[in-house]
Structure 1
Amino acid sequence: MTTMKTRGAAAPNPNFTVFSHVKYEHLVAGISGGVASTLILHPLDLIKIRFAVNDGQTTTTPQYKGLRSAIYTIFRQEGARGLYRGVTPNVWGSGSAWGFYFLFYSTIKTWIQGGNAKKPLGPTMHMIAAAEAGILTLVMTNPIWVVKTRLCLQYSDIEAAKLPDNKRYAGMLDALTKIYRTEGIRGLYRGFVPGIFGVSHGALQFMTYEEMKNSYNQYRRYPIDTKLGTAEYLTFAALSKLLAAAATYPYQVVRARLQDQHHDYKGSLDCVLRTWRYEGVRGFYKGLSPNLTRVTPATMITFLMYENVSHFLLSLRKEPGVM
C-alpha cells in the first residue's frame, strides 16, 4: 500500500520512468528467437511471398500449383540457393524486429505495471502495449522488409537479368543503396501504411498469448510471471499466432504487393481495389497456407527461445537480497 501511495503522490519519481524498465535481456532473447526461427523456416517465407504477389496478371511471375509444387519448381530452376534468396535481410529483419518488439513491449508493459511484474494488465492494456511496440518496431525495420521482399522476388538469375539495373539486386546492401538512390526514403518505406494496420496482428497475438499465460498461472494459483514449461509455451504461442494470422492476413498480401518490384500500384487503396476487382476475396488470402505452415512453428520456436533465454538472463541480473 505504501508503494502505491508513493507512486500516486510522486509521478515524476525516476523509479517509474519508462527508461528505468529497459532491460537488454529482452532484446538479446528476442534476437535469438527471431534468428533461430528464420534460419530454419526461411524457404516457407519465400514461398509465402511469391504466392502473395501472384495476381495472375504479371507474366514474369512463376505459377505454382501448391506448396509442394513451389518447393520442387524453385529447387529445380534455382537450386537450393533459390530457396534461401533474401535470407540475409530476413535474418536481420526478423532478429532486429523480434528483438526490438520484445524490448519495447516488455518495457512499456513493465512501465504500465509500475514495476510490479505480478500485476495483471487485462486484454486492453496488453493490446495497447503491443500496438505501441509494433509501431516503434515497424519504423525501425520497414526498409529491411522491403529489401527482403524484393530479393525473394528475384526468381532466377535469368529472370533478374531482364529487369532494369536499378531493380536488379546483388544483395542486401546493393538493394538498400539502389532503392534509396532511385526511389528515395519513400521507396524504403513502401508497404508502411498496411504495415501500420498490421500492428493489430501483433497486438492481437500478444494479447492472446499473455492472457492465456496469465489465466493458466492464475488457474494454478501461481503469480502471473511464473515460468511455464515447454509444452505450455509452445501451445499458447501456436494458438495466439493462428488466431492473429487468420484475422489479419490480408494486410500482408497488400504489403507484399506494394513492395514487389514487378508491380506498379499507386498506393494501398489502388492495390486493394485492383486485387478485389481481379481476384475477389480469395486474392487477399493467397499464400495463407504456406504462411500458416511457416509462422506457426516459427512463432513457437521464437517464443520458446525468448522465454527461456530472457528468464535465464534476468535470473543472472538478480542478486541475493535485492527486491
Structure 2
Amino acid sequence: MSDALINGLAGAGGGIIAQLITYPLQTVNTRQQTERDPKKERKKIGTLEQMYQVVKQEGWERLYGGLAPSLVGTAASQGVYYYFYQIFRNKAEATALERKRNGFGDGSVGMLSSLVVAAMAGCVNVLLTNPIWVVVTRMQTHTKKSQPNCTGLLSPEDVIPSAVEPPPFGTSLAIQEVYGEGGVLGFWRGVLPTLIMVSNPSIQFMLYETLLKKLKKRRVSSNKGNSNVTAFEIFLLGAMAKLGATVVTYPLLVVKSRLQAKQIVADKRHQYRGTLDAIVKMIRYEGCYGFYKGMSTKIVQSVLAAAVLFMVKEELVKGSRWLLASDPVKLKQR
C-alpha cells in the first residue's frame, strides 16, 4: 500500500470522526452565516441557545440535517485531499533533495512549497466534491417553516401551516431543489469562493507543518535523537493551525454559504447572481459585520474538528505503517 493511499484513508477516517463530533455546531454555524432576517439578527442569541431553539422547534434530527451526505463528503474530501497532498508533497521533497545535490538549499521543503502543495491538493478536492457540499448546505439551512418544490422557488401553496408536519427534506429533495434552480451547474454554486478558500487549508497545513517541524527539532535536541510527538501535541498543533487559517479566510466562507443556500427570490437584496454580486450586496445592506456572522461558533467547531482530525489521522497512519512494516521495531526507531 502506497504512502499516499495510507494518508488518504487515514484522513478520511479522521474526517468522519471529527464530523460526527462537531456536526451540530456546523449546522448552527451555517444557519448563522445565511441568516438574513433583521429581527432574528437583533436578538443575537448564543450558539447553545440557538441549538436549543432548533431542538425545541424542529426536533433533534434538524441538528443533524444533511449528516449522511456530509459524512460522504467528508470521507471523499479528506481522502482526496490527503491522497493528492501526499503525492504532491513527495514530489516536492524529491525536488528539494535534487536541488540539494545540485548545491541549492538544505533538502527540506520550505514554507512556500508547502503552501503550493496544499493549494494544489485543495483545488483538486474542491472541483471534485463541491456538489456534495452544495447539497449539505441546503439540508443544514432547511427549516420546517417552508416546503421546497423542485424548482427551488417558494409559491403560496408551498407555505405549510404550523399544525401540519412537512414531508422529510432528504438528500433527494435537496438535489432536486438545487437542480431546479440552476441545473447541473447549480451543483458548482460557490465554487469560486471555495477555490479561493483553498487558502484556508493551505495556510492551515503550512502552519501545521512548520510548527510540527520546529517541535520535532526541539525534541531531537533535548531527547537525544528521539523526535516522537504525542497525540495530544498533534491535537494542539492542529488546533493552533486551524485557528490562524479560520480567522484569515472566514469572510469567504460566509459568501460561499450564501451562494449555496436557497435563494430568497422575494427580496432582491438577498438574491445573489454570483460571488461579486454577493459581496457587493452584503457590503451595501449588511456592512462588514455580515462577513463575520457566526465566526465564534465556526472557530470552536473548526478548531475542534481540525484538532481531532489531525490527531486521529496521525494515529491511523502510525498504526497502518506498523501493521504493514516487516519489522515493527525498526519502524519505531524511525
Residue 114 of structure 2 is matched in structure 1 by 126
Identical columns (%) = 28
Residue 15 of structure 1 is matched in structure 2 by none
Residues 1:139 and 2:127 are matched in the alignment: yes
Residues 1:297 and 2:314 are matched in the alignment: no
- Where do residues 79-90 of structure 1 align in structure 2 (5 Å cutoff)? 79-90=59-70
Query: d(CA) in 1 for partners of 2:225 and 2:126?
Result: 29
CA contact (8 A) 2:259 2:274 kept: yes
Residues 1:71 and 2:56 are matched in the alignment: no
CA contact (8 A) 1:53 1:256 kept: yes
Aligned residues: 300
Query: d(CA) in 1 for partners of 2:233 and 2:40?
Result: 45
Query: d(CA) in 1 for partners of 2:42 and 2:3?
Result: 46
Residue 9 of structure 1 is matched in structure 2 by none
Aligned residue for 1:99, secondary structure, equals: helix
Query: d(CA) in 2 for partners of 1:64 and 1:155?
Result: 19
Residue 30 of structure 1 is matched in structure 2 by 11
Residue 273 of structure 1 is matched in structure 2 by 280
Aligned residue for 1:228, secondary structure, equals: coil
Residue 258 of structure 1 is matched in structure 2 by 259
Query: d(CA) in 2 for partners of 1:115 and 1:318?
Result: 26
Query: d(CA) in 2 for partners of 1:197 and 1:132?
Result: 12
- Residue 41 of structure 1 aligns with an amino acid whose one-letter code is T
Query: d(CA) in 1 for partners of 2:113 and 2:65?
Result: 39
Cα deviation code 1:95-150 (max 9, x no counterpart): 21112111111111012112999953111011000000000000111000000000
In structure 1, stretches of 5+ residues that fail to align are 1-19
Aligned residue for 1:319, secondary structure, equals: coil
CA contact (8 A) 1:21 1:107 kept: no
Residue 20 of structure 2 is matched in structure 1 by 39
- Residue 302 of structure 2 aligns with an amino acid whose one-letter code is V
Residue 313 of structure 1 is matched in structure 2 by 320
Root-mean-square deviation over aligned CA pairs: 2.9
Cα deviation code 1:222-250 (max 9, x no counterpart): 79995410221011101000000000000
CA contact (8 A) 2:150 2:180 kept: no
Higher relative contact order (CA 8 A, sep 6+): 1
Normalising by structure 2, what TM-score? 0.82
Q: 1:170 to 1:54 in 2, by over 3 A?
A: closer
* Shift of residue 181, structure 1, vs aligned partner: 5.5
Aligned residue for 1:185, secondary structure, equals: helix
Residue 49 of structure 1 is matched in structure 2 by 30
CA contact (8 A) 1:55 1:283 kept: no
Of stretches 146-155 and 221-230 in structure 1, the one that deviates more from structure 2 is 221-230
Query: d(CA) in 1 for partners of 2:95 and 2:121?
Result: 18
In structure 2, stretches of 5+ residues that fail to align are 98-105, 154-167, 265-270
- Residue 238 of structure 1 aligns with an amino acid whose one-letter code is A
Residues 1:111 and 2:111 are matched in the alignment: no
Residue 150 of structure 1 is matched in structure 2 by 138
Residues 1:91 and 2:90 are matched in the alignment: no
Normalising by structure 1, what TM-score? 0.85
